Amino acid sequence: MTTTDGATDTDGMESLDPADWSDLRVLGHRMIDDMFDHLQTLRDGPVWQKMPDPLRQELRQALPRQPQAPEAVYETFQRLVQPYSTGNLHPRFMGWVHGGGNPIGMLAELLAGGLNANLGGRDHAPIEVERQVIAWAAEMLGFPSDSSGVLVTGTSIANLIGVLVARSAKLGPSVRSDGVDGTRLVAYTSAAAHGCMPRAMEMAGLGRDALRMIPCDAEGRMRLDLLAQHLEADRAAGAQPFLVIGTAGTVNTGAIDDLRAIAGFAARHGLWFHVDGAFGAVAALSPKLRPLLAGIEQADSVAFDFHKWAQVPYDAGCIVVRDPARQLETFGAEAAYLKREDRGLAAGGVWPCDLGPDLSRGFRALKVWMTLSVYGADRIGAIAEQTCDLAATLAARVDREPSLERLAPVALNIVCFRYIAAQGDLDRLNADITADLHESGIAAPSTTIIGGVLAIRAAIVNHRTNHTDITVMVNAVLEAGRKRGA
């Protein structure tokens, strides 16, 4: 191809684009076909298999100075990487809280990679897509339509942003220049909160000890009477309470705090009300589950993930803040070279880099936008509901089996239970059973500690999981338990 001034495409210079695109095009089509085959046949393969040591060795190479054929590098990916991935695509992956992804989201990742847009700022359509996604998130949560927000890697960072916005709402934006020296800010959350919450307090310079972990009731919800007592004591001791964090779906058991009561408490005491809804917030898309979240619409900020229950491929976390001015004053950039113009590419008002710590950012929004557009939010809500129904089925089965014991109430999609044997160390036994399941490739629940004992924890998140998968997993636990417990 020749440009108008007569120069050829490369003009004798080096470029990474091929001179002839046809081979790469063929390879690209093959990759897509192969990945569709992989998705179509997932169920037949193991959930997970350990990467063999010789293959780990083979992957370790010095910086490749010389080019290699893309076909050869792809072959290495197929042989060394693809078979030994996390396993969360598989319908019997039930560990932690991992989303299953979806094929439209996968294709969106390809398109986003092709555009290679930088969503830090400037005036372009990809940023409009992200603004649309944030508006949808606000709508999902029942937030005002002018709420602000930004996509980030995950809820850990979204929670950190929530803490930072709450911090500057309390101390004023001057905290950005003055720091927190000498102030004694304290925050409150439940003892069942995710470990990223104390980490957010660390990173915000407030210290993890300034986060009061309030004990929970039997349902795993923060005890509001104890919350009030802690607040009184802190005030009496001269500390400055500034933030209360409710959890919508605790990571251990899926419990949902009484968000409406916490909203009232926060309003009475002048506290910022943040909700960690990492997976649970997506329950708002199901008419049946939505009432469980009542009060979330009164929060000042909500952090959640599209990459868990909303089935968007990793990574896609989200923070939404009710008052856009608060988020902007926490992060708004000053640097001269980022100066906003009123026309041209450097125009476009508030940029995503004004709303969080990242400057350069990828086009995460596209896979969220395409996933929600193609399947529809109702269908995502129906999937969430379906996983809760599967969890209820699993809980009922556990309750029927004499050698299984359920260890926590089932609020949403998580079931904690253990295998019971007449003698021996039950914690050890259940940890071994879980590892046996992983290594067999049959199923992958995880473990947690409930009330001081080790539980097998099945979080049903994946849209591909069905009743047979639940039966297969329970049967595998029983069999492993019998073998080991005998």
Summarize as ranges the residues that interact with ligand PLP (CB under 6 A): 97, 154-156, 194, 196, 247, 249-251, 276, 278-279, 305, 317
Alpha carbon distance 290, 315 (integer Å): 24
Whose CB is nearest to ligand PLP?
Answer: 154
| 307 vs 406 by CB, closer to ligand PLP | 307
Minimum CB–partner distance for residue 152 and ligand PLP (Å) = 9
| 159 vs 434 by CB, closer to ligand PLP | 159
| 98 vs 326 by CB, closer to ligand PLP | 98
| 241 vs 277 by CB, closer to ligand PLP | 277
- What HEC string does the chain produce? CECCCCCECCCCCCCCCCCCCHHHHHHHHHHHHHHHHHHHCHHHCCCCCCCCHHHHHHHCCCCCCCCCCHHHHHHHHHHHHHHHCCCCCCCCEECCCCCCCCHHHHHHHHHHHHHCCCCCCCCCHHHHHHHHHHHHHHHHHCCCCCCEEEEECCHHHHHHHHHHHHHHHHHCCCHHHHCCCCCCEEEEEECCCCCHHHHHHHHCCCCHHHEEEECECCCCCECHHHHHHHHHHHHHCCCEEEEEEEEECCCCCCCECCHHHHHHHHHHHCCEEEEECCCHHHHHHCCCCHHHHCCHHHCCEEEEECCCCCCCCCCCEEEEECCHHHHHHHHCCCCHHHCCCCCCCCCCCCCHHHCCCCCCCCCCHHHHHHHHHHHCHHHHHHHHHHHHHHHHHHHHHHHHCCCEEECCCCCCCEEEEEECCCCCCHHHHHHHHHHHHHHHCCCEEEEEEECCEEEEEEECCCCCCCHHHHHHHHHHHHHHHHHHHC
Alpha carbon distance 357, 370 (integer Å): 25
| 198 vs 481 by CB, closer to ligand PLP | 198
Minimum CB–partner distance for residue 404 and ligand PLP (Å) = 24
Alpha carbon distance 400, 394 (integer Å): 10
Minimum CB–partner distance for residue 416 and ligand PLP (Å) = 14
Tokens 């969220």 correspond to 368
Minimum CB–partner distance for residue 356 and ligand PLP (Å) = 14
Minimum CB–partner distance for residue 322 and ligand PLP (Å) = 20
- Determine the distance from the C-alpha atom of residue 402 to the mean position of all C-alpha atoms in its chain, rounded to a whole number: 35
- Determine the distance from the C-alpha atom of residue 424 to the mean position of all C-alpha atoms in its chain, rounded to a whole number: 37
| 377 vs 412 by CB, closer to ligand PLP | 412
Minimum CB–partner distance for residue 162 and ligand PLP (Å) = 11
| 175 vs 285 by CB, closer to ligand PLP | 285
Minimum CB–partner distance for residue 275 and ligand PLP (Å) = 10
| 219 vs 425 by CB, closer to ligand PLP | 219
Minimum CB–partner distance for residue 276 and ligand PLP (Å) = 5
| 102 vs 155 by CB, closer to ligand PLP | 155
| 102 vs 250 by CB, closer to ligand PLP | 250
Minimum CB–partner distance for residue 277 and ligand PLP (Å) = 8
| 278 vs 383 by CB, closer to ligand PLP | 278
Tokens 């409710």 correspond to 246
Minimum CB–partner distance for residue 97 and ligand PLP (Å) = 5
Minimum CB–partner distance for residue 203 and ligand PLP (Å) = 13
